[in-house]
Structure 1
Amino acid sequence: MAHGGDAAAPLLASSAKPPGGDEPRRNMYAFGCATLASMTTVLMGYNLALMSGAQLFIREDIGLTDAQIEVLAGSMNVYMLVSILAAGWAADLLGRRGTLVLANAFLMAGALAMSLGASYAALMAERFVTSIGVGFSLVVAPVYNAEISPASARGVLSSLLDMFVNIGILLSYVSNYALAGLPVHVGWRVMYGIGVLPPVFLAAGVLAMPESPRWLAMRGRYADARAVLVRTSDTVAEAELRLEEIKQAVEAPQEEAGVGVWQELLLRPSAMVRRIVTCVVGLPFFQQASGIDAIVLYSPLVFKKAGMASNSAVLGATVAVGLVKTCFILVATLFSDRLGRRPLLLASTGGVAVTLTSLALTLCTTPPSAASAAACVASVMAFVAAFSVGLGPMTGTYAAEIMPLRLRAQGTSLGMAVNRLTCGVVSMTFISLADGITMPGCFFLYAGVAAAACVFVYVRLPETRGRSLEDMDVLFAK
């Protein structure tokens, strides 16, 4: 729980003061806060993607079937729905910062339990513990980043979230590759055991952050909110303006007495809220329905289908894919506040549709050969590059910044719940679907979804670059 001393948190304090009155500055304090919040998602990426390589050893060690591996790989996304739907309530009750500390506690416990698992039932239970922490961090970190960031840098700071998720994915691939030589019953346990200590240090770092100024204002602590805004705004004048807009937003629900948050979101939404909810639900759905987790979790199976034989070659290729995926997020990070969210999303969804079609065509080659395997790897790299320049990082950024303050935590939970449910369906059906319509058929299907996503972005999503969070109501009321 946040207290009155939040605004005086020591993190990066030397960069908190404007160097010259109201002169714009590069806000390293806001950058440091957003970085620490985003780092809580490293273990989300690590735990989700680790299964892609660990399954090769878990299958042999414990004797799991294809169906059990499929459920185990995707179960976390379904389990997450519990904490995702509770995260909005927790973030409003405990504060954004307190909820992130709680998330790290669950992540540490889940990693420890997973490394000690000895049966399918135990592993499923341990995935549930991890999923609680992942769900909290997935919802609250983007909300915190959006609320702490000045409008001029919100795209960059919000996209840090996806960058750290992908750093976690890359680390999992490296772990798969580096530890593959250990005995079967030891290697995968060490892979998961590595994830025990980082949450401890991350929780300590999160405690050094200030609480969200918008959460402080919701509690009537305007002096603390102003102190945080002065540190995280480009100028003192901007901080005063942001505080005034937040005050107006906080007082707005008084005019709608009797209408609860979930009622306003789902049962009795205004035309403006309905348009926002369509975007908050639609974009996360398309992000996952385009098949990204089929690649993240099952790329070893895809590469083997294309003609790769050895586990070392397959795991080496997944490391290269993870590296490409992480590097291309930097493109979104650098250009989201220059080009805007909409151009990046349009380019990304169009690119995903084309590269998935290319991937499907490479898998149609019979018989598989070294050339088809190389083409498959190249297509997968092109796919993750296209996904990472827009649809990956911009989805969370866009959803968090367009929700009104009174609905932000629960609205973000709703979008993330749809996202994880869709992800769970994709990850828990890929092997079965490939058996039914073939693996190329799966990727042709995902390509069609990506094409529909491109149309959705073009028709439904206005540009939000440079607008304050409190100004989104005006944008969506048009």
Structure 2
Amino acid sequence: MDVSVKKQVEAAHPKAAIVTTCILAALAGLMFGLDIGVISGAQQFIQKDFGATDSMIEWVVSVMTIGAAIGALAAGWTSAALGRKRSLLIGAVLFIGGSLFCAMAWNAESLIAARLVLGLAIGIATFTAPLYLAEVAPERIRGAMISTYQLMITIGILLAFLSDTAFSSTGNWRWMLGIIAVPGALFMVGLFFLPDSPRWLLLRGRREDAQIVLAKLRGDEQVVAKEIADIEDSLKTKQHGWSMFRENPNFRRSVGLGMLLQAMQQFTGMNVVMYYAPRIFQEMGYDTKAQMWFTAAVGLTNVLATLIAFALVDRLGRKPILYAGFTMMAVGLGVVGTMMGMGIHSHGEQIFTVGMLLFFIVGFAMSAGPLIWTLCSEVQPLKGRDFGIAASTCMNWATNFVVAVTFLSLLSGIGNAQTFWLYAVLNAVFIVLTAWLVPETKGVTLEQIERNLMSGKPLRKIGS
């Protein structure tokens, strides 16, 4: 091993280095959560200030998902050509600029353009951050570090809801949207202290630089040497996703399953609540102050329930948790719709309806929220994994857009009770689809899943 690498090993504090590195990268998830959450509390004040229609507000909310889809596609190039670190820096700059642009918007159209810029930032960050985390975290804590990214999204949503609540007394939506530039700036500064991904450095032929980075992060010469050898070996497996998709029907099945899973996640209705929580509480009869505080309660419930998935996913398996989650979501939204259809007349009925909405949140956060992403990465064969995950991620953003751009129209078109019943029925359908198509992958190696898929086994049995 080179002298420079040995010096880095001797000076390394690997535990501190890896924790700091992964926390900084996971802060990309915080920005994602902030962007999701901040528009929820601000939209009623924006609508009043600009005299915007419900249709225009739907576009203000949903255009972010279009930008995110474009950003995620662009990040495939930026992360490969410029590196994971520089790709995250581009995302941070766009996030800061988009946030300030939102705060200075002079009409609904300019706000839509600003939200599109924010979407680009989020798309880049959501593609690059998990990739970076997977490449720098030691194998023994890789799952926990990537899960931290998902947790940071929920924390970002909660912080945005609390920020909106604090500003709601003045109705100053510009501060609501602009204040998130501050954590964006902190994230950008922190990125300058991140190392480049060792895998990307090896992809660019910079072997010594990769060794130095790993020496700082691992602090053990033998571990560094073995990991360098493993990365170089894995890089020999070239991605052939598009040609596999055209030629191999079994691969088309796994891509289709990934896309279906992401559509299922979005059509649970979770992002309806995330984007439009104050409007939902308004439909329950609450005033503005109560709407904002209950929206904050939604964010807190989302954070706490996400921890349930971390605790149970490798104990109980994927499918039992998905069954429980979809059942809870179907029941929760079904009851919310029924209460709205009957009319909410007393304070007790209001509290009960809020409780059932929070019951729905728990069902999502413990199941479809984190587990869909896990399954989408597990079912794709190695040579087509990049293509399969890209396809499912694009489906996530596309269906996210559909949900966001139709909710207010559904409320005014078919009514609030019928809208929630619609989502309740969809969750019931997802129980059937889980039983029919979704494999149980707990304790099964990715190699075994791939062998089962390529041998033609039914999708629900490829985890056997």
Bin for the TM-score computed over the shorter chain = 0.7 to 0.9
Aligned to 2:421: 444
**Alignment-mate amino acid for residue 443 of structure 1:** F
Deviation at 1:410, TM superposition (A): 4.5
CA contact (8 A) 1:156 1:337 kept: no
Q: Does 1:165 align with 2:153?
A: yes
- TM-score where L is the length of structure 1: 0.84
Aligned to 1:193: 178
Aligned with residue 268 of structure 1, among 238, 242, 247: 247
Deviating more after overlay: 296-305 vs 103-112: 296-305
**Alignment-mate amino acid for residue 279 of structure 1:** L
Deviation at 1:412, TM superposition (A): 3.0
Aligned to 1:394: 371
Q: Does 1:287 align with 2:287?
A: no
Aligned to 2:391: 414
**Alignment-mate amino acid for residue 126 of structure 2:** L
Aligned with residue 35 of structure 2, among 22, 30, 47: 47
CA distance in 1, matches of 2:269, 2:139: 32
Aligned to 1:98: 86
Describe the shift of the 1:313–1:237 C-alpha distance in structure 2 as closer, same or farther (beyond 3 A).
Answer: same
Aligned to 1:365: 342
Aligned to 2:301: 324
CA contact (8 A) 2:267 2:423 kept: yes
Describe the shift of the 1:438–1:297 C-alpha distance in structure 2 as closer, same or farther (beyond 3 A).
Answer: same
CA distance in 1, matches of 2:312, 2:220: 22
Describe the shift of the 1:406–1:149 C-alpha distance in structure 2 as closer, same or farther (beyond 3 A).
Answer: farther
CA distance in 2, matches of 1:188, 1:372: 31
Aligned to 1:207: 192
3-state SS in 1 of match to 2:195: coil
CA contact (8 A) 2:155 2:303 kept: yes
In the TM superposition, 1:457-468 aligns within 5 A as: 457-465=434-442
Aligned length: 451
CA contact (8 A) 2:12 2:215 kept: no
Aligned to 1:67: 55
Aligned with residue 275 of structure 2, among 272, 279, 297: 297
Give a deviation string over 1:400-454, Cα, whole Å, max 9, x none.
Answer: 4554565444443322211111111111101111222222222222122223333
CA distance in 2, matches of 1:354, 1:133: 36
CA contact (8 A) 1:290 1:446 kept: yes
CA distance in 1, matches of 2:369, 2:433: 16
CA contact (8 A) 1:101 1:206 kept: yes
Deviating more after overlay: 131-140 vs 404-413: 404-413
CA distance in 1, matches of 2:115, 2:380: 30
Describe the shift of the 1:279–1:88 C-alpha distance in structure 2 as closer, same or farther (beyond 3 A).
Answer: farther
CA distance in 1, matches of 2:231, 2:451: 15
CA distance in 1, matches of 2:323, 2:128: 26
In the TM superposition, 1:56-135 aligns within 5 A as: 56-135=44-123
Work out which structure has the larger RCO, using CA pairs closer than 8 Å and 6 or more positions apart in sequence: 1
Unaligned runs of 5+ in 2: 455-461
Give a deviation string over 1:141-185, Cα, whole Å, max 9, x none.
Answer: 222233444554343222222211111211121112111122x4x
CA contact (8 A) 1:50 1:169 kept: yes
Describe the shift of the 1:367–1:348 C-alpha distance in structure 2 as closer, same or farther (beyond 3 A).
Answer: closer
Aligned with residue 352 of structure 1, among 324, 329, 332: 329
CA contact (8 A) 1:143 1:400 kept: no
**Alignment-mate amino acid for residue 166 of structure 2:** A
Deviating more after overlay: 37-46 vs 312-321: 37-46
Deviation at 1:351, TM superposition (A): 2.3
Deviating more after overlay: 128-137 vs 240-249: 240-249
CA distance in 1, matches of 2:228, 2:347: 60
3-state SS in 1 of match to 2:342: coil
Q: Does 1:153 align with 2:165?
A: no
Deviating more after overlay: 321-330 vs 333-342: 333-342
Question: What is the alpha-carbon root mean square deviation over aligned residues?
Answer: 3.2
CA contact (8 A) 1:250 1:405 kept: no
CA distance in 1, matches of 2:109, 2:377: 36
CA distance in 1, matches of 2:270, 2:370: 13
Deviation at 1:269, TM superposition (A): 3.9
CA contact (8 A) 1:288 1:422 kept: yes
Describe the shift of the 1:451–1:326 C-alpha distance in structure 2 as closer, same or farther (beyond 3 A).
Answer: same
CA contact (8 A) 2:33 2:153 kept: yes
Deviation at 1:230, TM superposition (A): 7.0
3-state SS in 1 of match to 2:237: helix
CA distance in 2, matches of 1:465, 1:117: 48
Aligned to 1:277: 255
- TM-score where L is the length of structure 2: 0.86
Identical aligned residues as a percent: 30
Unaligned runs of 5+ in 1: 17-27
Aligned to 1:142: 130
